[in-house]
Amino acid sequence: IEKVEIIIKKTFENVLMEGFEEEHVSDLINTLELKFKHISTKRGLDFLLHTSSLWCHDFSPVDGIRFQFLLNRFKQDYDINPGILCEFLKKEILKNTHKITHIFKPNEDYKSKIDRELNSLLKARLETLNQDDQDKIYDQGLELKKNQEESKLENIDTLPVIKLTDMNRKQYSYEVNQLCIGELQNILKQGHVPVQFCIRPTGGVTYFNCLLNVSNLPYILKSYLPLFCAILTDIGAGNYNHKEFSSRKKKFVRGMQASIQIVPHHTNPRDVNEFVKLSSYCLNENVKEMLSIWVDVFNK
């Protein structure tokens, strides 16, 4: 235990001496900003987990979702004083004498110990009940078992439902524009690739999606598509090896991946269209860098 504590302390001291690289701090800020702005199916759960620690320590959980305010304040403080992280490390960790060391040891008797505690708790609860209470609980258990075993139709009227009449029947159309951007301009003209964009409120995040039709790819090559998609965005591109390319991605882009997508034909039910889907997202101010990274993947 003492050896581990010494290693941890030494690591913090080395970080304090060397300082934090500005590029790494910038990458972390970009990661946090994208994490909170990106809309996903588990966004609500992420907010709940993020605020739970504040709530448990008697702070307002609302402060936990004011991430943009907190992030902007940190950016301002960091611009004024680039050594703010080192000062925090020195004050709150290295010079903080209030420390707790948790030591976890395996217990072979853990399961039997839990069983004994449960039996003891059950026995104590039974001692507080008279015979009538015990009979009542027993009868309720039998009734519950009977209801569970029977294929009884549940009363769905008690559940919240949404009907077609509750939905707005009006269809909305969104303006879709043709796009030709800087470094992609020559490629698009040569390859005649249609590019479209639609401006929608996404919280300052730009999403990029691309479909490459591989229906006419020779059959012998299609077996390599899963491997191709798995390594396409991880092997480096252009003048960057895989480590440098990974660092460049982390700095500007998230969700950069390739996947196989099979879509039924719109008129022929016996036919399908096969695509390789490329996707990524970034902050609006990093769109140029994101497209530049994809250009390297496409051409280099």
- For 49-84, the pLDDT digits (tens) are 878 888 887 888 787 778 888 888 888 988 898 888
Q: Per the structure block, which two tokens stand in for 262?
A: 């099979």
Helix, coil or strand: residue 111: helix
Contact indicator for 250, 27 with CB cutoff of 8 Å: yes
Q: Give residue 187's pLDDT.
A: 46
Q: Give residue 178's pLDDT.
A: 66
For residue 237, the cross-strand partners are: 240
pLDDT tens digits along 186-226:
544 455 566 777 777 788 888 998 888 888 889 889 889 99
Domains detected in the chain = 1-93 (3.30.830.10), 181-299 (3.30.830.10)
- H helix count then E strand count, the chain: 12, 5
Q: Per the structure block, which two tokens stand in for 129?
A: 């009940």
Instruction: Give the DSSP letter of residue 217.
Output: S
- Name the helix (H) or strand (E) containing 7: helix 2-18
Q: Which residues of the chain have pLDDT under 50?
A: 181-183, 187-189
Q: Per the structure block, which two tokens stand in for 163?
A: 């009907």
Can you say whether residue 192 is alpha, beta or left, with left for phi > 0 and alpha for psi between -120 and 50 degrees?
A: left
Residue with tokens 């909305």: 172
For residue 223, the cross-strand partners are: none
